[in-house]
Amino acid sequence: MSPTLLISREIPNLSYNPSSDRFDLTWEKPLSTLLGLGRSAGADFVEFFLEKNNYISCLAEDDRITSITPRLATGAGVRVFEGKADCYVSTNNLSFIGLKLALEKALSILGLNIPQGTAFIPEINLEMFRDYATANQKDSWLTNCSNMQEMGDILLTANHQLEKKANHVQSRRAAYFRDWQEVLIASSDGIFARDIRLTQSVGYNLLCADGGNRSSIGKRDGDTSNPNFLRTWNYENVAEEVAESAGKMLYADYVESGQYPVIMANQFGGVIFHEACGHLLETTQIERKSTPFIDKKGEKIAHENLTAWDEGLSENAFGSIDMDDEGMAPQRTLLIENGILKNFLADRAGSIRTGHPRTGSGRRQSYSFPAASRMRNTYIATGEYSVEDLFASVDKGIYCKKMGGGSVGPTGEFNFGVDEAYLVENGKITKPLKGATLIGEAKEIMTKISMSSKDIGLAAGFCGSVSGSVYVTVGQPHIKVDSINVGGR
């Protein structure tokens, strides 16, 4: 589209009727006009993020469906930059007038105003429409997902399997959600792109009790692109795994507190790297000066055997995206290579304020939030050792098979519960343990991850930060931490 010139006094008389059914080329004209208005007011950069969301969750407790929660949302956010300062305003009104009012509000907060009278307003020349949804056949995803009746039937059947396989059951829960999102991004640097995202997750939580003995084990799987995901969930195998773990932990001894070498399992074991180190490599933390790695690029921050990546490309992984929430294609970002800090994760604002290049990491929960630098699929890379090598190197330590919840301080201090743990003696697993908590600090634990095996695994997760809750993948092979504080009894 060739840019045209409007006169300020003509703006109130403009009328556009873009499609209300989907974000398509009919949105080009009104958005290019609004972007031109923002630039003519003196903004260095203007971005619109439009979203439609269709979410539903279903919960089965024991033999009843106890909750079905639908949510529909439509809205837009406009972000305006002047130098390194920015402002964000959101609205539920996607009409031209509604979007213009949101733009004017954002501009006024920065002390900017749209020119009046006979001033010329250039439209922004947007790129050729990038429609990832149509190109990748995503438009039919929502209608092909499981309906409410099917959700309930599958979860109740799954809960019945859990009852058959577990002993001393106190409560059984099977939960599923589907989150469908259509987005359109247009910005004054010419970005004009559309995508559809489909995120689903299903899993169990089992609580067992026998007298004073209790155990609680959960297992959750996720997917980002398969409408048949719930239909293909192998709940019988998962029920068997969860029941077996809960049975072992029910009568486990409590761990004795102290310092131990620890072997951490693959897949969700990667949550510690995500929380204790990954967040500290986001430019959001550099802006706040709340990361110990702020000036460590090119320096050694971890053991020489540790290499770590963040990317948005792995097929079906929970953090995979065709574009980030600023319209940039995802990349593979090498975070740490053989212990050396190589890169930070940067969104547009982070890049402007810190100088680190954008990495396709600008993400947000919804139109209510401005994008920020966020992880996608984050994992420790495979190493040269076998799992047997890791166990053989431990005389007395702890094997953390399933991680639980935890907390992380603003500069990397962390504590994480372990849902399923075992004592390791002379290279062998000898007995189950419960009550273990891993306690440490990111800049210290990274130097103690001395061995990584070859069996990398990824797991679905949820990450909360300044731009809301987003879907991420955590992962790693089995790793050995030479020494870590373990809280217990």
Mean pLDDT for each consecutive 10-residue tract of the chain (489 residues)?
63 83 96 94 97 98 97 98 98 96 97 86 91 97 97 98 96 98 98 98 97 95 96 97 97 96 95 91 94 95 96 93 97 97 98 97 98 97 97 98 84 90 98 95 92 96 95 97 94
pLDDT of residue 1: 46
* Count of CA atoms in the C-beta half-sphere (13 A) of 132: 22
Neighbour-count burial of 193, counting CB atoms closer than 10 A to its CB (0-12 exposed, 13-18 middle, 19+ buried): buried
Question: Please, are residues 476 and 380 in contact by the beta-carbon 8 Å criterion?
Answer: yes
pLDDT of residue 347: 98
Question: Please, are residues 381 and 237 in contact by the beta-carbon 8 Å criterion?
Answer: no
Question: Please, are residues 482 and 448 in contact by the beta-carbon 8 Å criterion?
Answer: yes
Q: Record the tokens describing residue 156, joined without a space.
A: 């109740």
Q: Record the tokens describing residue 306, joined without a space.
A: 């540790």
How far apart CA 59 and CA 57 sit, in angstroms, is 7
Nearest 5°: phi and psi at 272? -70, -45
Query: What pTM was computed for the model?
Result: 0.94
Q: What is residue 428's three-state secondary structure?
A: strand
Identity of the amino acid at 28 = E
Question: How many CB atoms are closer than 10 A to CB 294?
Answer: 16
How far apart CA 202 and CA 398 sit, in angstroms, is 29
Q: Record the tokens describing residue 471, joined without a space.
A: 């879907």
Domains and CATH numbers, the chain: 5-60+68-134 (no CATH), 141-181+197-252 (3.30.160), 258-487 (no CATH)
> Would you give the DSSP letter of residue 488?
-
Nearest 5°: phi and psi at 70? -95, 155
The residue written with tokens 């577990």 in the block is: 166
pLDDT in tens, 421-452: 999 999 999 999 999 999 999 889 999 999 99
pLDDT of residue 369: 98
Q: How far out from the chain centre does Cα 191 lie?
A: 23
